[in-house]
Amino acid sequence: MKIIKILVSTLLLFGILNAEVVKTQPNKETVKKELSPEDRLQQIKKLQLAIQLVEALYVEEKDFDEIINNFIKGGLKNLDPHSTYLDEKGMKGLKETTEGEFGGVGFVVSKKKGLLTIIAPIEDTPAFKAGIKSGDIIAKIDGHNALDISLDEAVKKMRGKPDTKVTLVILRDGETKPLTFNIVRAVIQVKSVKYKIYKDTLYIKVTSFDSHVSEDIKKILIQFKDKHIRGIVLDLRNNPGGLLNEAIKTSDLFVKKGKIIVQSKNRTSKGFKKVFSKTDNLITEEVPLVVLVNVGSASASEIVSGCIQDHNRGIIIGEKTFGKGSIQQIFDIGNKEGIKITIGRYYLPSGRTIQNEGITPDLIVLDTPVPTKEKPVLSFKEADYENSLQNNIKKFKKEEKLDKDKVEDKNLITDKDLLKDLQLKSAIDVLTVLIKSSQK
């Protein structure tokens, strides 16, 4: 009876696969060598035999659908770190992430050289507050070895109901011993766009490119368009990317109409597919722009910063970015399941590749507090003389064109804040120089 079951299953499988092969027969242009029907049939039989052996002889009995799903997972896993099978839970999780709300610890993870590597912690989440950093490698999840599990499996283990705990063992460059983090899960509601004001500079922080980002940035730019903003800082640090369309729309807000935003290429294309800016700038190019990036800036963040750099629209400051320039597409395969496959590569307007290269900033600045020197024990200035001449010019407060009274305190950046962030201070300093130069 068991043999009959195997035979029936195998014949069904063969019929399905054979029909699918005919349906998806590649064009001669898309393969290096066209296999003959006999050769293709031989390869299918090899797969058929492997599945048959697992179903009949594997030490533990497995459902047929579980075997098929595991074969799909394994096949995609060996292509690249981003191609994967998504079950119903995985498809739901992907939708939650792009919509900006999900249950978990709050970081984006990827496979880098076969290791589960943190691309970036999401600001104001449990992982961020616990001290998880970009570049951390996950060694264990709740005591289970995480060095050889798939990306999809790792995400499933780390997501869960709010107020439940997950224990991560982390390997960090520069640390001699593994670090253990006990993190309590929460509902991760990512507010992807925030703004602050420093004097006459508008600071916009983008934490990820979800489906609302470009519209939120647009609203902020409109809000401050006529309020004498003299400089803009666009902070893409620890932004792991997101939706390609949102990266394009965001770039469109800053570069001139008709400029190339991004190019792409897949195995069937004869040349580059180019995407152009379609709208006029909300803020003129006379307003200088600085973009902050670091190793946690990936994918969509690299498209935006690279586009701005290639068109000389702004100055890029910080550290070299992650270097993810591949394109993934989700295919629905029924039963609320899907397959995510890498289908192409991104290229910047100049033709530069992002993949494994990243964006090198115009000004390299490390992510550290501003170095300060202790005040000298003895310091003596002109004003310290008892009989020094007094300044007879009446003190006056320069009227600021930007009405700070209408901006909430939490949205104001102070000089004290800048001392904690050398990269941001460098951005403000560069903008100050550019603003003064434009006034000459």
pLDDT, position 258: 94
Compute the distance between CA of residue 339 and CA of residue 320 in angstroms, rounded to an integer. Answer: 31
Task: Provide CATH code, domain 101-189.
Answer: 2.30.42.10
200 counts as catalytic: no
324 counts as catalytic: yes
Q: What percentage of the chain has pLDDT greater than the value 70?
A: 82
Q: How many CB atoms lie within 10 A of CB 350?
A: 12
Phi-psi map region of 283: left, alpha, beta (phi>0 left; psi -120 to 50 alpha): beta
Compute the distance between CA of residue 302 and CA of residue 327 in angstroms, rounded to an integer. Answer: 13
pLDDT above 70 (res 15): no
CATH 2.30.42.10, the chain: domain bounds:
101-189
Give pLDDT tens digits for 244-278: 999 999 999 999 999 999 999 988 888 899 999 99
CATH 3.90.226.10, the chain: domain bounds:
191-262+274-326+351-373+396-440
Task: Provide CATH code, domain 191-262+274-326+351-373+396-440.
Answer: 3.90.226.10
Give pLDDT tens digits for 368-426: 888 766 555 555 566 666 666 666 555 444 444 555 555 666 788 998 889 889 999 99
pLDDT, position 155: 85
pLDDT, position 61: 93
Name the catalytic one among 299, 301, 305, 426: 299
Q: When comparing pLDDT for 200 and 304, which is higher?
A: 304
Name the catalytic one among 324, 421, 425, 426: 324
Are 239 and 207 in contact, with CB atoms under 8 Å apart? yes
Q: When comparing pLDDT for 429 and 1, which is higher?
A: 429
pLDDT above 70 (res 3): no
Are 113 and 291 in contact, with CB atoms under 8 Å apart? no
277 counts as catalytic: no
- The secondary structure of residue 97, as a DSSP letter, is H
Give pLDDT tens digits for 42-89: 999 999 999 999 999 999 999 999 999 999 989 998 898 889 898 888
Compute the distance between CA of residue 342 and CA of residue 266 in angstroms, rounded to an integer. Answer: 9
Mean pLDDT for the chain? 83
Name the catalytic one among 310, 340, 367, 426: 310
pLDDT, position 422: 93
